[in-house]
Amino acid sequence: MRFEPTMKQAVIRRTARKYAEEVLAPAAVEMDRTGQFPQDIADEMAELKYFGLEIPPEYGGAGLDPVSYAIVVEEISRANAAMGLCVAVHNGVAAAPMYEFGNQFQRKKFLVPVATGKKIGTFCLSEPNAGSDASAIETTAVRDNKDYILNGNKVFVTNGHVSGTNLIFANTRPGEKKKEYTVFFVESEREGVEKGPLEELMGMRGNPVCPITLHDCRVPEENLLGEQGQGLKIAFATLNGGRIGIAAQALGIAQACLDVSLRYAKERHQFGRSIAQFGAIQKHLADMATQVEAARLLVYRAAGLRDKGLEYGMESAMAKLYASKIAVDAARIGIQIHGAYGYSKSYPIERYYRDAKITEIYEGTSEVQRIVIARSLMER
């Protein structure tokens, strides 16, 4: 059993951290204030290969291993969770299934522009009536000669407003009793694709989350990812991997909470000494640090299993369940340590609280993670 990063992973962390601290941390404040996505920074990140992290170089990616991937998402999210979301979704649930399930033609045509960051990717599963229950989707795809005609409403699409290539989950047997689920590549410029207004979100502000509507959107059969009817299989396999990214994101937020809380506790003086001298504050900090370290081990372990090609669905669910919980706790306790200043926008901890909460909801709520874990326990 090895717990040390490899030389490469250590350098990857330093490199991502330097970029995150110098570029993404200052941008986070602005993104949160204005809700604007910084396209210039995304373009620079594309040059630096942040949009093709695990994709092999022959398709324009960086070819990193899953642990390095988790490290990069963690470091970005530590400085800027909204950008962490952009990277985690683009890489984890858009580029990854395009590579894993795409044929050679699709990899060249769709994956390369996504992995090089020229086109931003999305994963469009959720609908007004389909959240945790993905099988309830109502978007339809009807065959018309060599094409499919898509109709439906996708909601809460991360990266939606700036996306170029969308993965749309649809029912290819509308009207029949048993649905059949299929995934399509749908380019944003295709006729019949309409992006709705930006969601006004509590946190992750600056990530352009929006609904995407399909009105008689005609898509050629070459845009079908994997096989017809494979949709849910692709969705679940993708989310298993994607959860490592969200867990890493939560881990980064939790680490950021610990960083600022520790610094503040040492600086702030009450009753003639720094508040870090008080047992109550030390307990908070000790618990927070322990939880962050435990979450880190869970995240890297899930990523390590993925790297070895072993089953990791239960482990990634555990990593996401735990990391998201401790991120919310760390932010909540972090505000407590900051007192009134923590409740003020002049310190970042209130933003971390708003950012952290969603990690318990998207890519499977905590309740759903427990279902995944319990099911694996009973099956194994």
Partner 1 sequence: MNIAVCIKQVPDTPSIRMDRERMTIIRDGVESVINPLDYVALQAALDLRDRKGGEVVVITMGPPQSEEALREAIAAGADRAILVTGAAFSGADTLATSHVLAVAISKLDPFPDLVLCGAHTTDSDTAHVGPQMAEELNLPQICGVNEIHMEEDYLTVKRLSDGFVETLQVSLPALLTVTQELCSVGHLPLGDLQIAFSEREITQWGPEDLGLKEEEVGLRGSATQVWKLSVPPPRREGDLISGSPQTLVDHLIRKLEDLSILDEEDGYKS
Ligand X SMILES: Cc1cc2nc3c(=O)[nH]c(=O)nc-3n(C[C@H](O)[C@H](O)[C@H](O)COP(=O)(O)OP(=O)(O)OC[C@H]3O[C@@H](n4cnc5c(N)ncnc54)[C@H](O)[C@@H]3O)c2cc1C
Q: Give the residue numbers marked as catalytic.
A: 363
| 73 near ligand X, judged by CB under 6 A | no
Smallest gap, in angstroms, from Cβ of residue 106 to partner 1?
21
Query: Is 199 within 8 Å of 209 (Cβ atoms)?
Result: yes
Q: Pick from partner 1, ligand X, none: which does 234 bind, CB < 5 to 8 A by kind?
A: none
Pairing of strands 140-144, 224-225: unpaired
For 98-128, b/e burial (b = at least 16 CB within 10 A) is bbebbeeebbebbbbbbbbbebbbbbbbbbe
Query: Is 245 within 8 Å of 73 (Cβ atoms)?
Result: yes
Smallest gap, in angstroms, from Cβ of residue 57 to partner 1?
6
Task: Please count the other Cβ atoms lying within 10 Å of the Cβ belonging to residue 276.
Answer: 19
Return the sign of the alpha-carbon dihedral for residues 226, 230, 231, 234.
negative
Query: Which residue number, 142 or 262, has a Cβ lying nearer to partner 1?
Result: 262
Which residues would be at the binding site for partner 1 (CB under 8 A)? 6-8, 10-12, 14-16, 18-19, 22-23, 44, 47-50, 52-53, 57, 61-64, 68, 72, 267-269, 272, 341
Considering only residues 140-159, where is the footprint of ligand X by CB under 6 A? 156-158
Phi, psi (5° rounding) for residue 195?
-95, 130
Q: Which amino acid is at 245?
A: G
Smallest gap, in angstroms, from Cβ of residue 344 to ligand X?
24
Write out the H or E segment, with its range, that includes residue 217.
strand 210-220
Smallest gap, in angstroms, from Cβ of residue 24 to partner 1?
11
Token pair in block for residue 60: 């324009």
Smallest gap, in angstroms, from Cβ of residue 291 to partner 1?
21
For 232-243, b/e burial (b = at least 16 CB within 10 A) is bebbebbbbbbb
Considering only residues 156-175, where is the footprint of ligand X by CB under 6 A? 156-158
Binding test (CB under 6 A) with ligand X, winner from 16, 76, 125, 251: 125
First-last CA distance in the chain: 22
Query: Which residue number, 48 or 202, has a Cβ lying nearer to partner 1?
Result: 48
| 209 near ligand X, judged by CB under 6 A | yes
Q: Pick from partner 1, ligand X, none: which does 226 bind, CB < 5 to 8 A by kind?
A: none
Query: Which residue number, 158 or 182, has a Cβ lying nearer to ligand X?
Result: 158
The binding track of 311-350 with respect to ligand X, each residue x by CB under 6 A or -, is ----------------------------------------
Using CB under 6 A, list all residues that contact ligand X: 89, 122-126, 131-132, 156-158, 201, 204, 209, 358, 361-363, 365, 367-368
